[in-house]
Structure 1
Amino acid sequence: MADAPRARRLAKRIAQIVASGLEHEVKDPRLAMVTITDARVTPDLRDATVYYTVFGDDADYASTAAALSSATGVLRSRVGQQTGVRFTPTLTFVADTVPDNARRMEELLAKAKEADAEVARLASGAAHAGDSDPYRTSTDDDEADTDGAESESFSDADVRRGPQSG
C-alpha cells in the first residue's frame, strides 16, 4: 500500500497525462469538448478513476463515454510510460457531476434570493402587529391581584406527588 500523499501525487499526474493525451495523441472528434476535472487512485495504486465533463447535452456525454472507453488502452499505455510506476493503473472514466450540482445550487440560491427580495418588498410598507415592547411588564394592577388573593398554583412537590385522595 502506498501512502496517501503518493496516491494524490500520482492521481494529479495521471489527470495531467490523460488531458494532454486527449489533446495531442487521441484524434477522436467526439473528444473535442472534454475536460478532465479530477483523478483518484486507490491506495494500492492499481486503479485510477478519471473524472471528466463535456460541454454539451446527454447525447454528447454518451458519445464521449464511448470514445473514452475506446481510447482507454492508448491512454493507459501513455500513463505507464510517463509515470514510471511498477504497475500501470487501470483507467476508469466517470462523468463528473460536480458542475451540474453546482449549477443546480446556483439556481436554488437565485430562487431563494428572489423570494427574499419579494418578502422584503411586501414587508417594506407593513407595520408591526404588536406593541413596540412585546414583553409583559408588571403594573400596579397586577401586583394588587396577587397580594390579596391566595394563589392556586401548584408547587413542584405537589406535581411530583400527584393527586391527593381525600
Structure 2
Amino acid sequence: MAGFERQARVADRIRVILSERLQKGLRDPRLGFVTITDVRVTGDLQNASVFYTVYGTDEERAGTAAALRAATGLLRSEVGRQLNTRLTPTLEFIPDALPEEASHLTELLREAQERDAQVAGLAQGAAYAGDEDPYRHDDEDD
C-alpha cells in the first residue's frame, strides 16, 4: 500500500499528464473543451478515477465522454510512459457534477433571496396583533 503522500503525488502527476495531452489534442472531432478537475488514485495505485468537466451543450458532453472512452488506451499508455511506476493505473473518466451542483445552489440562493424580499415587503406595513412585547416582566406589577 502506498502512503497518502505518494498517492496524492501520483494523482497530481496523472492530472498534469492528462491535461497536457488533452491540450495537445486527440484528433477526435467529438472531443470538446474539456478540463480535468480532479484525479483520485486507489491506495494500491492500480486505478485512477479522472473527473472532468466539459464546456458546452449536452451533445458536446456526450461526444466528449465517448471520445475519452475511445482514447482511454492511448491516454493510459501516455500516463505509463511519463509516470515511471511499476504498474500503470487503469483510467476511469467520470463527468464532474460540480458545475451543475453549483448552478443549482445559485438558483436556490436566488430563490431564497426573492422570498426574503417578499417577507420583508409584507413585514414593512405590518402591525403587532397584540402588545408589542407580550411577555410578562419581573419588574412589572400585576
Shift of 1:27: 2.2
Aligned pairs for 1:61-76 (under 5 A) are 61-76=61-76
Quick one: percent identity of the two aligned structures?
Answer: 54
Offset from partner CA, 1:42-85 (integer Å, 9 cap, x none) = 00000001011111222222211110011111111111111111
Matched AA of 2:119:
V
CA distance in 2, matches of 1:93, 1:35: 12
CA distance in 2, matches of 1:125, 1:19: 58
CA contact (8 A) 1:31 1:64 kept: yes
CA distance in 2, matches of 1:125, 1:25: 62
CA contact (8 A) 1:22 1:31 kept: no
Give the structure 2 partner of residue 9 of structure 1.
Answer: 9
CA contact (8 A) 2:30 2:67 kept: yes
Give the structure 2 partner of residue 50 of structure 1.
Answer: 50
Aligned pairs for 1:12-161 (under 5 A) are 12-137=12-137, 139-140=141-142
Shift of 1:130: 2.4
CA distance in 1, matches of 2:28, 2:98: 25
Runs of at least 4 residues off by over 3 Å: 137-140
RMSD: 1.4
Mean Cα displacement is larger for which, 32-41 or 56-65?
Answer: 56-65
Q: Which has the larger Rg? A: 1
Pick 1 or 2: higher relative contact order, CA cutoff 8 A, min separation 6: 2
Runs of at least 5 residues in structure 1 that lack an aligned partner in the other structure: 141-166
Runs of at least 5 residues in structure 2 that lack an aligned partner in the other structure: none
> Matched residue pairs, number?
140
The 3-state SS of whatever aligns with 1:30 is coil
Taking structure 2 as the reference length, the TM-score comes to: 0.91
